Copies of this chain bind each other. A is one copy, B any other.
Amino acid sequence: MTRKKTTFVPLQSVTVLDPFFSRIQDTVIRTMIPYQERVLNDEVPDVPASHAIRNYRIAAGLETGTFYGFVFQDSDLAKWLEAVACSLAVHPDKALEERADAWIGLVEAAQQEDGYLNTYFTVAEPEHRWENLADCHELYCAGHMIEAGVAYYQATGKDRLLKVVCRLADHIEKRFAGEGKPGIPGHPEIELALMRLYHLTGERKYLELAKLFIDRRGQKPDYFRQEREQSSWQKFNYSMKASRYYMQNHLPLREQTSVEGHAVRCMYLLTGAADVAAETEDEELMEACRRLWKNMAERRMYLTGGIGSTGYGEAFTRDFDLPNDSAYAETCASVGVCFFARQMLEAEPSRVYADILERELYNGTISGMQLDGTKFFYINQLEADPAMSGEVYGTEEYSPERIGWYNCACCPPNLARLMTSLGGYLWSVEKRTADDEKSGGENPGTKAGDIAKPAAGSEDIIYSHLFIGNRAKLPAAGGVEITLTGNYPWEGDFTYEVNTEAEEAYFTLAIRQPAWCSPLSIRWKDEAGNIHSGENFSDGESGRLCSGGILRGEESLRFEDAGGYWLLRRKWHSGDTVQVHMELPVRRVYADPRVKADAGCVALMRGPVVYAFEGVDNGENLSACRIPKDAEIRAFEYDPDLLEGVVRLEAEGRRAVPADDFLYSPEAPREVPVHLTAIPYYAWCNRGKTQMRVWMRE
C-alpha cells in the first residue's frame, strides 16, 4: 500500500528540450555554475566573501588560516557539486568536470581519519564535534555532501566522492545509531540524503539511520534542551530563542497536523520522511506526510508556491496567514516543496502533488533568479515597494532587487541543482506484473479482451507529470523512448511521439490534466488509422471533474479521477503520436476568504503561470489600482523580445486618485481609467527597481 507505486526516471535518461526551461538550464550551466564556483573560491570582487573553498583548504592542511562564514558554509560547496553533477549529466563539460574532480579531491583531503567531515569543527573547534546539533548544522552539511556524492557518481560514474560520503555516513551511523546514542539534526537534510545513499547502494543501515532520525524527532525529553543543559559550550544558541516548532521538534512527526517552523527544514524533513514511509511501507508515517502536505497546500501556501510566510524564523505562521508584502517565501523553501512533491508523486502519482510541483517550477522557485542567472532573491514577496523594502528599519532583509550573493548563500546553489536536475522530475514508471493485474486494483481499462496478448511489461504505466519538452528513455514495456514537444507554458498544444525498441509494445501512457485546466483533449490514431479522442472538463483550481473519458476498440482511454491523470492504454508502434490540447485562457483566481491579505482581491493566471503587475508598466502606487469584475483581460501573443520571451496580459482597470491634501475624507477616492499590464511573476524585477503586486483589488 505504501510502497512506492512508481519510480522516477533518472535525470541521466532524460534530455530536456524545452523552449522555456532549456533557456534556464542553459543559463544555470553557462552562467550560474561557473559564477558560483568563482564566488565559492572568493574570486568575485563585489559580493560577500564566501571562503567556502578556503575553509576546505585550511581543513585539509593545504593552507593556514581560520574558518570564516556560517557554521554551515560547507553546504554551499556541496550543493554546488551536486549542481555540477546534474549539469554534467545533461551537458558534458570536460573542463568543468576536471575542476569539480579537483574540488572533490580537496573535500577528500579535508575528511578526517575517522570519516568525520566538517571544516568548521575541524578547523575551529575539533573538541566540540556533535555537541550542539541544534545550531551547528553538522548533519545538515553532511547530508548535502552525501547528496553531492550520490549525484556525482550517478552523473559521471566516478566514485571518489561517493566513497568519501559513505565513510562519512558510516561515521554518523556509528555515532548515532543504537541505544544510548541520542541525537537529531537541528536542520533536517541528513534523512533525505541517507535515503538517496540507500537507494544507490542498497545499504539498509542508511535507511535505518534515516528512519531513526525521523522517529526520534519530537520525542520527550527534548533532545536540544538536553544537549544545551549538558554542554558548557554555548557559542551558538540561535535555537534557544526559537520554539520547539522552529525545528519541527514539537511533536513526533506522526502526530503533527500542521506544517510548522522553519519552512526549509520542514520540507527537507518531510521529503526524507515520505521516502522512508514508502520504502518501509509505514502507512502511519505516510499518512502524516499526506496530512502535512494537505495542510501546507490548502492552508499555508502562496499562489506562487511560496511557503513560510514570516521572516521571523523563516517560518510558517498560522493557517491562512499569507501576507503579501511581508511574505518571506524563501526560494529554498519552494525548492524544498519540489523535493517533497517529487517524493509523494513517486509514491502515489496524483496531480495533488504534480500541480503544486508545476506551480513551484513556473513561479516560486525561478522568481529567485534574475533572468540572466547572475542575481538572486532569497525572499519572494508577492507585493513589493522599493520605497519600503530594505529602506525602512525592520525591512533590511527585503531587498528591492535581486542581489549578487548572500552571506547566507543557501538559495542560489539550491536553484542551480534544481534546475539542472529538472529531467528527473518529468517521468515516473509504474512497473506492473501479471500478478498486479490479477489482483485487480487501479488498473485502467480492464475489460476482458482489451489487450489481446499480455506480454511482459504490458501493464506498465508511464506517467508524464509535467509538460516540459524532453526526450526520455523509459524503462517500461521492454524499452520505450518518448519525445514530448510543445511550447508550454505559453501554448497549450503538445505532442507525445513514441518509439519502441520492440516492434510493438503494450503500456499505458498517463498524462496529467492540471486541476485548473478545462477542457483538456487528447487525440491519437490507432493502427487502422482511425482517429480517437477524449475530452475532460474540470472546474478549474478546485479540481472537480465534470465528465469522464471514452473507450473505443482495443485501445482504452480513461480519466482517473483520483489522481487526475488520463490513462491511455494501447498497443504502441514507433512513430505513434498523441496530441494534447489545453485551453489556456486567462483565469481570475480568488483566495479563500480566510486569507485576510487577499480579501476583495483577484490574481491572474494563465496555464501554470501566475502574473504580476509592476510599477514600471503601470505607474507606482499599485494598491490604488483595481481590475473590475467585468474588465476584459487580454493575453497577447508570445513576445520573444520581452523578458526573454513571455505572454503578457492587459486589462482596462481603474485607478483611485488622491483628492486633496487630507489624509482622510468623507468622499471615496475618485477613480480614473488605467491601462494595466501584467507580466509573469517569475520575471518581475528584471527592469529595475519597481513596485509589484500579484493580488489586485477587484
A-to-B contact residues, CB < 8 Å:
242-243, 246, 297-299, 301, 303, 310-313, 315, 317-318, 321, 325, 385, 387-388, 391-394, 516, 539-543, 587-596, 599-600, 602-603, 621, 623-624, 626, 629, 656-669, 697-698
Contact = CB atoms under 8 A, between A and B. Distances in A.
Nearest to A323: B325
A510 to B, nearest CB: 23
A394 B600 contact: no
Given A298-B663, A660-B542, A666-B540, A310 B594 contact: no
A542 B592 contact: no
A666 B600 contact: no
A352 to B, nearest CB: 11
B591 A664 contact: yes
A393 B315 contact: yes
A623 to B, nearest CB: 4
Given A662-B592, A663-B301, A656 B599 contact: yes
A588 to B, nearest CB: 7
Nearest to A322: B663
B590 A664 contact: yes
A599 B666 contact: no
A318 to B, nearest CB: 6
Nearest to A670: B593
A408 to B, nearest CB: 18
16 contacts: A298-B662, A318-B388, A321-B392, A516-B666, A541-B666, A542-B660, A587-B666, A588-B666, A592-B663, A592-B664, A592-B669, A593-B669, A599-B623, A599-B697, A629-B668, A668-B698
Contacts of A587: 666
Contact of A656 (B246, B299, B593, B697): B593
A594 B669 CA distance: 10
A543 B594 CA distance: 38
Please name the 6 residue pairs, one residue from A and one from B, whose CB atoms are nearest each other, closest first: A312-B394, A540-B666, A593-B656, A596-B623, A593-B624, A312-B393
Contacts of A659: 542, 592
Number of identical monomers bound together in the oligomeric complex:
2
Nearest to A622: B596
A683 to B, nearest CB: 21
Contacts of A666: 516, 539-542, 587-590
A629 B668 CA distance: 10
A581 B557 CA distance: 80
Contact of A665 (B242, B243, B592, B629): B592
Contacts of A664: 303, 541, 589-592, 603
A393 B516 contact: no
A388 B326 CA distance: 14
Nearest to A299: B663
A388 B662 contact: no
Nearest to A610: B664
Nearest to A296: B663
Contacts of A317: 388, 392-393
* Best-surrounded residue of A312, A313, A325, A666 (most CB of chain B within 10 A): A666
Contact of A297 (B297, B315, B657, B663): B663
Contacts of A656: 593, 599
Contact of A669 (B242, B325, B590, B657): B590
A311 B325 CA distance: 16
* Best-surrounded residue of A312, A590, A591, A656 (most CB of chain B within 10 A): A590
A667 B393 contact: no
Contact of A662 (B542, B599, B669): B542
A242 B242 CA distance: 25
Contacts of A246: 393
B624 A310 contact: no
Contacts of A516: 666
B312 A661 contact: no
B543 A662 contact: yes
A681 B534 CA distance: 60
Given A301-B663, A600-B600, A663-B298, A594 B624 contact: yes
A392 B394 CA distance: 17
Nearest to A666: B540
A74 to B, nearest CB: 27
Contacts of A391: 318
Contacts of A602: 668
B665 A595 contact: no
A570 B666 CA distance: 35
* Best-surrounded residue of A318, A321, A542 (most CB of chain B within 10 A): A542
A591 B624 CA distance: 11
Contacts of A242: 393
A536 to B, nearest CB: 16
B624 A393 contact: no
B393 A310 contact: yes
A591 B697 contact: no
Given A599-B697, A600-B600, A623-B599, A663 B591 contact: yes
B595 A663 contact: yes
B321 A662 contact: no
B540 A388 contact: no
A587 B621 CA distance: 26
A514 to B, nearest CB: 12
A661 B298 contact: yes
Nearest to A624: B593
A97 to B, nearest CB: 43
Nearest to A693: B596
B321 A388 contact: yes
Nearest to A587: B666
Contact of A657 (B318, B387, B593, B657): B593
Contact of A593 (B539, B600, B621): B621
Given A599-B623, A666-B516, A667-B590, A318 B392 contact: yes
A593 B671 CA distance: 10
A391 B315 CA distance: 13
B312 A540 contact: no
A668 to B, nearest CB: 5
Given A298-B661, A393-B315, A663-B595, A600 B626 contact: yes
